[in-house]
Amino acid sequence: MSITFSKLGLKTINDAKAILINNNEVKVKQYLSQSDKVDLLVYVFDNSIDPNNFTFSPIRVETYFSIAVVKYYTDITFTKAQLEDNILKTYDLLESNGVIAQVFEAIPQEEMSFLRDCLQSTMKDVTTYNNSFAGMIDIVTRNTQDVDKKLSELIEKVKNKEGIEVLSEIKNIVG
């Protein structure tokens, strides 16, 4: 005899642990949905990889991982500027005041271990791919698309007789 999944009557558990930060009560989730974990890790990867050489910067990884955990697991809100333009300053304020450590300690060990394992595993996979032949071709292709676009724009200008000086630009690019 089998039972349907819906008859199990399962409910999402939204437990949170309260911590005090400068006399402010902050709620720390004890579990983050898989969807939110994916978003957290994508945020870290998108911001931690160097766009020029496609490698991970350990400082970027630590900064964005810590900020992401605070952002996704707590009810602390950040402005766009705090998460983009001033991310290092935001990190330094949180770290030097012990906020990151407090939040990490309030999250169950299994959750943090799972996140760190996913982070390390994916970074390893991305690095392995980038060092593979397919990854190198992908990187070269990304880099040459800009050159192709610039050449196409210059050729269009010459075709449309927008200026003979464009020919000297093409000569400089092509050699």
Q: Collapsing DSSP states into helix, strand and coil, what is residue 163? A: coil
pLDDT at 65 over 60: yes
Give mean pLDDT, residues 42-64. Answer: 88
User: What percentage of the chain exceeds 90 in pLDDT?
Assistant: 57
**pLDDT value of residue 2:** 93
Confidence of residue 22 (pLDDT cuts 50, 70, 90): very high
Please name which of 96, 63, 62, 90 lies closest in space to residue 76, comparing C-alpha atoms: 90
* Rounded-to-integer distance, Cα 111 and Cα 115, Å: 6
Sign of CA dihedral 96, 103, 124, 60: negative
Helix, strand, coil shares of the chain, percent, nearest 5, are 65, 10, 25
pLDDT at 160 over 80: no
**pLDDT value of residue 120:** 92
